[in-house]
Structure formats: C-alpha cells, structure tokens
Structure 1
Amino acid sequence: MSKKEKYRFCIGDKNKHSSLTTIIPEKNDVYIVSKSNENQTKLSIHESGKCQYSFTSEYVKKNRIVERNRDRHLMEFELLPLSDRYEIVMSYIYLFDEICLDDEILKQDVTWIPAPKKNWCVEVVFCKGATFNPAAISDEYKYIRTIVLDNRAVFIALYRYIPINDELRENVVDTRKIVKEDKTKKNCEEKICASFGYIGKNEHRYNVEIYV
C-alpha cells in the first residue's frame, strides 16, 4: 500500500492537543505510531495475529532505555482467528487534563477529534475482523477510519467518550509518580509526554497518554 494511505489523527485542537497518532497500513499488517517530542510508541498488528505494543526502535536508540532492541516491546500478544465479530486489539485513552501539547508537529494533514469534558476521556479503539460488518459496531462509537487490507481483512478505528473510572485513575496516579521520580533523577524540569500500557480487569489492553 502507498504512503498516501497513512491516516493521522489528534485529540483536541491546534491550541491544545494529544500526541500525533498515525495509522499505517502495509499489505496485511497495520502499524499505529504515536509521536510527541518526548515519547514514541508503536502498536504492530500483524497478519499472523501476533501483535506488539512497543517503544519505537528510533526512540530506544536515541534514549538508550533498553540494551537490546527486542526489549523495547512493552506487550506482546496474539489475536484470535478472524471472524465477522470484531476483536478489540487495544484501546488508546486520552484524558481531559492530559491534552495539553502546543508544539509544531501538526503542520501535516490531521483529523481532529474533539477533546472530552472534564472527568471524562476519549477512548480510541482499534479493531480487526474478517469482513466489514457495521451491525457489529455499537451506536456509542464514531468511526475514525476503516481499512480493507490486501487479504480482505478489515481494520477499524473507532472512538467514544467515557467517564474516567477508578481503575484508570489509579493507574494514572501510580505512573505519574514513577515518571516524576525518573525526571528528578535526570534533573528534568520540562513537562514531558509519557505513555503506559496496562491490562484492565475486563482483560482489555489499554495505552494511556499523560503529561508530567
């Protein structure tokens, strides 16, 4: 597939926004890359069903956060065989208080998703299935992008607004503490973007973006 089929989206607006996320289809694989000045992560969804949620190799090389490139994978998992029922690969969470970037990364063509209201968040859901089946999508979701891959499998990105629950809030508090401690060790005073992943009590996989 050509580079023209990349699709970029951001939460918020040109004044305050999340990191830039790009959906990159390549034949029967899909890559989802989120970039800000201080943070770069990638979700790799392979035709085989194997998936990785990782720091990008470029980010690891620049910051030397792991000794071996393969150690950059934060989660590795495998999808079920494709069916008419979409499987959620991963959800990306954007919280109201964490949408605060104002850098220059948005000179590219970007689709804007409105920021959530206070105490709410945007959940962007990445799904994969065997065919395009709109009946399988709940009315609470809005479409971001639908991509038919070379093997006719379907990748869909959706979003919805949901209230922040206690589980999410606890994960944010714990991660914020870790990032603050790391910034102190590095004598870093600038506000930085940090992403973290976790598996919820519902067994879904989440990526959460915060600014510390």
Structure 2
Amino acid sequence: MPSNKVRLAIGSEKKCESSIWRIWSNKKGDIYVAVRILGGTYKMSLHKDGKCQFGFTAEFAREAEQRFEVKQRHLELWTLPEDNIVRAVQILVPASELRDIKIDKSKDITWLTAPPKGAIGTISVFICKSGETITIPCDAENQWIVSVLDTPLRQAVITYAFTYPDDSLTQLITYEKGRLTSLTKDKCFPHGTRATLWDSRKDHNRHVLELACD
C-alpha cells in the first residue's frame, strides 16, 4: 500500500541493530532521505525536477554557519537522469557493524532482517515515473520491496537485500572503519553511536555507508 513516509531499521522490536532511516515524500513530488536522529540536521533531497542535494536542513543552516563557518548549506548538488526508473541512493550497513542499540520503540518502524556474516544490508531507493513497474532482480539474496511512497508525479520504491561486497568495496569499508577508529579512539561516545558516511561523486549513483563508532 503506497504511503508518504517510512521508517526502516535492521533488527527487531527486541533488538535494533542499526540506525533508524526515515524516507518520506511531499505532495509536490519531492522525496527525502535522512537518519532519523539527524533528520533535523542533515538530509538528502530528491526534488521533482530531478535536481538533488545533500546538506544541512533549512532549520539547521543558520546554526551550521555559526558553529562550522559553513556558508553553503548544500554540500552536494547533482541531477538525476530522466530515465523512467533510477536508483537514487543505496544505504549500506555491513553485518560487522550491527550493534544492539537502545531506541524509542514508540515510533512505527519497519524491521529488516539482519544480513548474514560477510554480507551487507542494502536499502535501495528507486525513483519511478508514474505507471512504471519495478521488478526485483534475481541476483540479490533475500531482496524484496519494503515500501512504496506515492506522489502525484512519481513513486519512490524502497527495496532491501543482502549483498556481498566486491574487493573495492571491501577495501573502502576497511579504510573508512580504520579512519573512523582513529578519529574516535580518544572520544567517549555512548554505546550504539553510529556514523553515516555519504559519498561524494560526479554522477547520480549515491551511497551511504553506516558504521559503528566502536
């Protein structure tokens, strides 16, 4: 059943193991992606005209300028191609980075099965023009359509799958985990603190890597 918002997390009501991700749409046809705990700070915007951006929210922009001396609240700008179906972003959560996290369970959350050892829990957001039908490829393990967000002009189809990293992605995860460990080794973060690393690239094929800060 199409809706206009969904909250996703890997785990279950008894054991949340990832951040909670919020994906929502508005009546104009714009679609947004954010980590729920940072939804008032950062978000990805996929606008109906194909123009996209990642950066500070309008509400946080002034504080960001004061705290970080950032003049431009949009840290990344790009445009989606005019294809009928476009994969806009993938959220990657390696099995090695899952932790038992305490959360507010009063929120309505769609729970996703934890990936097996060595795999990555992969949430994909596809933007589809109205009337298009998306089919699930057969080369991904345990893949299904999680939710469909409806707007008058288009849909956001959200899928989840277990994927296995190739050598380049494995090297990237290892590098980013090492860099994160180095940056946080002298810090005292609460148990369950997460890091979300949004990639920067010239094309539209965006990814977010979620890692544990321990």
Task: Tell me if TM exceeds 0.5.
Answer: yes
| Structure 1 equivalent of residue 184 of structure 2 | 183
What secondary structure is seen at the aligned counterpart in 2 of 1:108?
Answer: coil
Q: Deviations over 1:139-187 (max 9, x none)?
A: 4441011123122x122111111113222222222222332333246x3
Cα distance change, pair 55–11 in 1 and its aligned pair in 2 (3 A): farther
Shift of 1:119: 0.1
| 2:70 pairs with one of 65, 68, 71 | 68
Read off the aligned partner of 2:171 and give its amino acid letter: E
Percent identity between the aligned chains?
18
CA contact (8 A) 2:148 2:158 kept: yes
| Structure 1 equivalent of residue 21 of structure 2 | 21
- Greater fraction helix: 1
Read off the aligned partner of 1:66 and give its amino acid letter: F
| Structure 2 equivalent of residue 10 of structure 1 | 9
CA contact (8 A) 1:57 1:69 kept: no
CA contact (8 A) 2:80 2:204 kept: no
> Which stretch has the larger CA shift, 123-132 or 187-196?
187-196
| Structure 2 equivalent of residue 117 of structure 1 | 116
Mapped partners of 2:184, 2:117: distance in 1: 27
Q: Deviations over 1:70-117 (max 9, x none)?
A: 3562x321001242xx11111111111212142123321111010000
Instruction: Return the TM-score normalized by structure 2.
Output: 0.79
Mapped partners of 1:70, 1:88: distance in 2: 26
Matches within 5 A, 1:14-93: 14=13, 15-27=15-27, 28-36=29-37, 41-54=42-55, 56=57, 61=63, 66-68=68-70, 70-71=72-73, 73=75, 75-83=76-84, 86-93=85-92
Structure 2's unaligned 5+ residue stretches are: none
Output the aligned Cα RMSD.
3.0
Q: Report the count of equivalent residues.
A: 202
| Structure 1 equivalent of residue 149 of structure 2 | 147
Cα distance change, pair 109–203 in 1 and its aligned pair in 2 (3 A): closer
Mapped partners of 2:117, 2:98: distance in 1: 11
CA contact (8 A) 1:122 1:162 kept: yes
> Which stretch has the larger CA shift, 17-26 or 61-70?
61-70
Cα distance change, pair 169–137 in 1 and its aligned pair in 2 (3 A): same
Instruction: Return the TM-score normalized by structure 1.
Output: 0.80
| Structure 2 equivalent of residue 157 of structure 1 | 158
Cα distance change, pair 56–97 in 1 and its aligned pair in 2 (3 A): farther
What secondary structure is seen at the aligned counterpart in 2 of 1:175?
Answer: helix
> Which stretch has the larger CA shift, 135-144 or 4-13?
135-144
What secondary structure is seen at the aligned counterpart in 2 of 1:8?
Answer: strand
Structure 1's unaligned 5+ residue stretches are: none
Mapped partners of 2:168, 2:22: distance in 1: 27
